[in-house]
Amino acid sequence: MAAKLARKRPSPLTRGDRDIWAAGIVYAIGRVDFLADPNHTPYLRTDELARLLGVKQTTMTNKGRFIMDTLDIGLMDPEYSRRDMLEHNPMVWLLEIDGLLVDARHLPEAIQVELCRHGLIPYVPAQANDDQTTRA
């Protein structure tokens, strides 16, 4: 996220405190994966996250929302989601092939490998149990 923000012109990182930017990034990544939702693991309240990072909660959340808006990041964004969250996100796996929506998890492994190679899916589900490091 920091690298993407640095590439923006003008880069918003040139203004403000580094600690606030770092806290905003941590908050944004946590938000993508529902860190503050007690029904998910890991779980950490937003006020506790801010305390641990040594910043004010409102400052951190405002910066995090700014980052998410600037980089067009939403909840369950595949680029920033943990693998276990990706497994449960159907939007990551739906592809349009000849006008039909297809769940890539149900395609033959060879096709999954090609889709992963081209960055269309985050990893090869058919190989996930064999090798937990298989990623795009």
Determine how many CB atoms are found less than 10 A away from the CB of residue 90.
9
pLDDT digits (tens, 9 = 90+) for 68-111: 999 999 988 888 988 888 888 888 899 998 999 999 999 999 99
Q: Is residue 68 packed enough to be buried (19+ CB in 10 Å), middle (13-18) or exposed (0-12)?
A: buried
pTM (predicted TM-score): 0.75
The Cα–Cα gap between 100 and 19 comes to: 46
**Cis peptide bond upstream of 38, omega within 30:** no
The domain segmentation of the chain, as residue ranges, is 2-70, 83-128
- Are the C-beta atoms of 91 and 111 separated by less than 8 Å? no
Predicted local distance difference test score (pLDDT) of residue 82: 87
Residue closest to 81 by CA, chosen among 135, 125, 39, 129: 135
pLDDT tens digits for range 36-74: 999 989 999 999 999 999 999 999 999 999 999 999 999
